[in-house]
Structure 1
Amino acid sequence: MKLTVDFSTLHRAVAPLGKVVTNFTITSRSTEIESIGSHLIKGLILGKDIQLDEIDGSDGILNYDGHQVMLYIPDQGEDIEAVLIDGKQGRRIHVAECSTLELMRNTGRFKRYDVINRVDGLFPVFGSMHSYQEEIKGEAALGVCKNCLKILNYKGYATQSYAVKEMVFNHFSFEQFFEVYSSYFKSLPTNSNKVSSSYTADWPAISSKLRSDLNYTCEQCGVCLVNDSKLLHTHHINGNKADNGSDNLRVLCADCHKKQPHHGHIYVSNTDVLKINQLRREQHKFDVFDFNNLRECADTALDGLLQKCQSMGLPGAELGIGINNNSNMVAIDLCWPRRKVAVLINMDNAKVLRSHGWNVFTAFDALNNFETFQAKVR
């Protein structure tokens, strides 16, 4: 059977890089046609394939095989009518390994949860009332669990005033949340309601020339990526990809690009952030380490911890540091080198660092054992 594939979407996706690779072939294996995304959709909607004990919350953020997931109780009981009108009156959505989930496990009520991965903010719910004979079903805009926000210090939730906490809760976006913590996942979740605009046909050439003219240097942080040009993008300031006027274009490294307003959907791997920060350090872009500078350049998944450290008056950390281990450089996301304290997003290298005398934490462990962490850092 002949298969025709339209790669226009792929071309648009890689257009910011200024290069489109077309000389490749696709090998199909019939037994591998069903992707992990397909498996998630079936498992999460039907609630059969994915078991609760397969959900990993060891890094704080809930995930299944490297993909973002959430836990919630679809049965809203007799409150169903009120919940369908105002979802924030219902049972909450869990995005992290919080105290509520721990309590539900310990009291034998954890099996009430369903797994889901949609990020549009609507969740299938049901319930019944004494005045109705039949079950009521629908979709509700359920609110996020406040204990999850607290345990992650999302947007400084744990250290803010009551008014600010309520604002964070009321304006919470599941899509934006997973964009902030995208380094913990293999890819960003997709929102089927989004419609993306197209780049113009001459965009690759425009982007390539502009980056070359600026010697592959980020206009925001100043890092030069001449030998790592794939990490340098061209940004449309007003978000209109058809507007290629010079006053609407800005050359940015992938990290700075992702942190532009409304650009969190750009996926930047933890490996790429580590590389950019390594180069920033080598090029003396980190001569001053204050928390504002750190938060601008650190992986967004570390922001909750950085805000906590700042509020508690801890000394500033450093970015872009690595240690040499048998001629291999082991990169560190965030560290206090004089104290030999490191925070890692990917814990694969934790054992190596510990063998060199480092105290290693995940951001989640540092937040949840902050007194111990603080004592190590001071």
Structure 2
Amino acid sequence: MHKRSLLLFAAFVFIFCHTGNAYAWQLNVPVKDSTVKDSAIQKVAGFLKKITLGGVFQARYTVSLNREVDVNGVHQPNAEEVVRNSFSLKRARLQVKAQVSDRFMAAVLVNLADFASDPKGKVLENAFISYRWNDAINFTVGQFRPSFGLEDLYPVDIIQSMDFSNQYYAFGNNGWQSFQVGVSMFGSFNKERKVPMKYALSVVNGNNRNQPADNDNGKLGTGRLEFGNMNKIAVGLNGGYGAVKRQSVYALGVDVSGVIPLAPKWDLQLQTEYKQGNNHQYYYAIPDSLRKEPLSKYIMNGIYVLPNFRYKISYHKLTSIEFSMRYEYFNEDEKHDGNMRQTYIPMISLAFLKDYGGRVQLGMQIDQYNKDIPGTKTHNSNLMIVQVQCRL
């Protein structure tokens, strides 16, 4: 045989053997090999089955209905051309979970859409290890979302609005919510009784995600108690205390959620939440000469109400049609004539598959400020948004 033929034959035999081995692994059929035992193959195959992949993709088309306001809600009075309509990628998340044992679990969540802008301090969202002792005692360490309100209990892709509330992002910027680095203990009691209870205790750096280390010696501690069942009615109490640059800070909140059956196919899902606390991010952003009082006097607060009417349907893959209207009041500095912001978000959505596996949303984001600041995002705006979502 020619050398070329011999090489091709050898390559074919090599590929065939390795393909056969790989195929046997997938079927959990042991391959005869004196260096690998059947038990080892089964252990590895069993481990691989405990790794799960998930994610969500959200794409948007946004139109600004104000002539001098762009698609990001920024007022641009002197621009040659204001971009008032645009397609955009909101989220492209990929999540990997590994159930290492019956007690240990590790998870990583990244948002690849953050690469579209400056990715510094972004992209990596969750990166933690959890240990489960029993229903009442569990631990999480790493980067995660500490439980400090309703919105910490849901991923953004299953909420009944276009996005999280203004208060969620404000309290997240101050270290109480959103993705933080630290440790948490949580659990539940009385599952079989009429009023089950859940709790969560967390201690975090409080300087947001993807930071190499804390920026001071202070830490933020939070606690949450939840009574009831969210599929019926539940009440949550939230409190937090800590130190930022050697000054004491606090936050507190209360939330109510529940589902009210209206008819065989109609449900009313209701969520409402109130929070207040020190706005140290706002305080330290002000020049020293303009600070009127100590940090303890700079208070932010807000409340939102989110009713969502759901009509359950079974038409091919369509599972429900939903109508929601979120109203929110938020003030970043209540005691010093802060700029009050009111937001209205009416929305209609079509949900496909289970748990919003597919979703089409049409809504408006109407922002009204007490005082407009020209050339900034602190300005009245009206955005129309069409969002398409797919969950993996």
TM-score if structure 2 supplies the norm length? Answer: 0.28
Q: Which protein has the bigger strand share? A: 2
Larger Rg: 2
Q: Which protein has the bigger helix share? A: 1
TM-score if structure 1 supplies the norm length? Answer: 0.29
